[in-house]
């Protein structure tokens, strides 16, 4: 699980082009949206594509996304339980 979280942080930084942010800067329970990393709706779309492309998880219910994308911790938990890749 720890490896997955580190991998996920690296992918988020790369895909969302988070300049000046390192893996160490992102805490497992930091909110991804709002006060935390300050991501927005376009970033959410990028994360949905990332989940599908890299882990084979298709998210079709927006309400589901809200809880999954709360933090790296919630994302990693969901991926570990549902990944097909």
Partner 1 sequence: MKVYINGLGSVSCQEGTRNFKSADLTKVSQGLNQATQPSYKDLIPAGMLRRMAKGVKMGIYASHSALEEANITVPDAVITGTGLGCLIDSEKFLCAMLENNESYLTPTSFIQSTHNTVGGQIALQLQCMGYNFTYVHQNTSFESALLDALLQVQAGELDNALIGGVDEIGDMTMHFLQLAKKINTTDEVFTKGVNYGEGATFMVLENRLTAQSYAEVVDTDISNRIDSVPDYIKTFLARQSLTPNQIEVLVVGSNQTANDGTYYSEAQNICSNSVVETFKEFSGEYHTASAFGLLNACEMLKYQQLFSTGESKSIEYILVYNQFDGKDHSLTLLKKC
Pick 7 or 46: Cβ nearer partner 1: 46
- φ, ψ for residue 37, nearest 5 deg: -75, -15
Q: What residues from 30 to 69 belong to the interface with partner 1 (CB under 8 A)?
A: 38, 40, 42, 45-46, 49, 52-53
Pick 1 or 56: Cβ nearer partner 1: 56
Pick 2 or 19: Cβ nearer partner 1: 19
Q: Any contact of residue 20 with partner 1 (CB under 8 A)? A: yes
CA distances from 3 to 17, 53, 76 (A): 21, 19, 10
Angle (nearest 5°) at CA 3 between 23 and 76: 85
């Amino acid at each position: 699980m720890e490896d997955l979280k580190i991998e996920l942080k690296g992918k988020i930084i790369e895909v969302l082009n988070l300049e000046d942010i390192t893996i160490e800067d992102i805490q497992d329970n930091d909110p991804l949206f709002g006060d935390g990393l300050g991501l927005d709706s376009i970033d959410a779309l990028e994360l949905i594509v990332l989940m599908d492309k890299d882990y084979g998880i298709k998210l079709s219910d927006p309400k589901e996304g809200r809880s999954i994308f709360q933090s790296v911790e919630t994302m990693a938990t969901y991926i570990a339980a549902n990944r097909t890749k």
